[in-house]
Structure 1
Amino acid sequence: MNPSVSPANSNAGETRTLPVIFSGKKGEYLKIWLVNMLLSILTLGIYSAWAKVRNTQYLYGHTQIEGHRLQFLATPLQILRGRIMAVIVFGLYVIISSLHPIANLVLMLLLLVALPWLLIQGLRFTLRMTAYRNVRFSFDANYGGVLLHFIVLPALGALTFGLAMPWVIQRLQKYIHDSVSFGGHNFTLNSSAGYYYKAILVCIGLAILYFIGLGIFGSGVITAISAGNPAALGGMVIIIASYFIFGYVVAAVYQSMIRNHVMNNLSIDGVASFNSSVEVKPYIWLMLSNSLLLIFTLGLAYPVTQIRKNAFLAEATLVNLQPAADHLVNTVDDKYSAFGEEAAGLFDADLSLT
């Protein structure tokens, strides 16, 4: 559990350590999500812009620090206009690319060139529509930087047969966070590539232990099958289930290690720093149980899994606010189109900052 704010930390002029509180309710959000999905279907997707705003405002509005809630300021019409523009562009892309193989190749190259711009616009819109204490976030990356970190470095990492990918991921995440600002103050992420390699090595170690155990157990199952033992069927079920569980174990270990490392080394210049204490075992159970909920409800439990994950991560997060946080003013206007974000989603180039 997160500690409450002590009186000493609440005095003006001092840095105060505060919990992130998430108060969303599974039943409430499930009703909102289901109604939004039904109306989106009945209106052939038109209502989805309103659905996105309602869903996001609920999640943001139930996330608070020191009594101040996060705000999502985008309007449904703003998002709807962006989606209409994106659909038109996508439709033209499909029609023109089907006319001739050369046209398809040219458009694919143009899309590759546009990809960094789409990623920038998507993150910029999302962050500019997010506010805390009426102060908006911003994303100030440039085309060259995004091209380098999202396309060039991953390509180079692939050429090393994956050996450089932990370093590539570290550089990518650092670039994203360092490009975010709040009230004119830049985020800074002092992460270490060595820690990313450490997380990968831990996962590799777990994989080695798992496959050694699987080999020993599997040989026994094969022997039982050869002997015609009906108990071998139970062994096969165990092996299949172990694959499923092991995937979530490795993912939870890696994600919890990286999340803690990133948050514990993230700060806003002169404004705030962060602490994360995600524990591996509870996080494994969260991921595993959420996946089972999705499977057995055919995806209808998705809003429930969102509430569970948001509550879990909020409980594991602390924010250290410095006195300057009380004197920030907004430096971002709201004159920004949602086209980039929706286009990024249509072309499978969407990116979220979490």
Structure 2
Amino acid sequence: MFTRAIYRIVILRDFEVAGNDVSGELIAAVNAAYQNSEQIRIRGGGTKFFYGNPVIGTTLDVSKHTGVTSYEPSELVITARAGTRLSEIEKVLAEERQILAFEPPWFGEVATLGGTIACGFSGPRRPFSGSARDFVLGINCINGKGEYLSFGGQVIKNVAGYDVSRLMVGGLGALGVICEASLKVLPQPEVETTRVLELDKRTAHVEMIRLMGLPLPISGLSHCTGLLRIRLSGTENGVRAATSELGGETDQDGAEYWQQLKEHQLNFFNRNQSLWRVSVSATAPSLELGGECLLDWGGALRWIYNDSSPESMFDAARRVGGHATMFRPDSDWPAGRFAPVEEPAMGIHTRLKSAFDPKRILNPGILYANC
């Protein structure tokens, strides 16, 4: 089944939805914490609070810092404050037939832009359109000394120097409190459809690798419970031609599947067991540790349930050139949810933390003990 969109271009400048600018309060709070050497635990909507190592500190609530401050559909750029809900941003974009192409998961209706960028999460479209980091053009943030800093800008081509704003993507607030972000957006595809083939995991993985090498308008490639699903997005003619080439059957519930995969609402994710996130090359072999596994990103992202020790998971992922993360523990889990980082990479982490947050008050230890 195809879904159709009609393109239109409208120029909107200095656009703003109802919101609040509380940047002054946030700056004052961080500055006071710096003066008193008081640790801060940064919080937005709280939908991703399960992610990262446990943090002890006074909560700094960014969720009240809201509003879309600029949106220019013709320039494919939107700017919003960190506490703005993703639901609001995507609603604004949908009115102009545009999308956040990295397809960020919400994990809850109150998910915010700041938390999404801080976690760096991207959805099923990521290997075909780009990651969250690829779409960040600029960020305003507060460092660990209470200083308001601006990096990047609101233009797609920016040659102002090293793109520090992208360091904030996936940094979990360890380098700064994100206050505002500018993102590149893309037009909605003209049509989308999902093809489904019944294949075992090993055969599906081989087929994924083959498909990734073909000039097809693929925007999603996932295998779960014996079914390989292939999402096609683009022009009507392009998608129709690809559909004929792929074979298989049309998944009438394809749109619902990709939404549930993105939001971890599939039955696969409803287990009382720790969930591992393993990022590897799409061509990497199986980790051979047993347990249940869902393949996404054409095999480059693997969601795994098993009872192996953290060391075993970290080592297994490293042996195939990737890394494992304890994504969602089933109970209290000690620090050490991320794979150990060796030198010289850890030295870079430490020096960046010292430059942005010399007293280490911002989400201390959320990534690593000294970061």
TM-score by length of 2: 0.25
TM-score (norm 1): 0.26
Q: Which has the higher contact order (CA 8 A, sep 6+)?
A: 1
Bigger Rg over Cα = 1
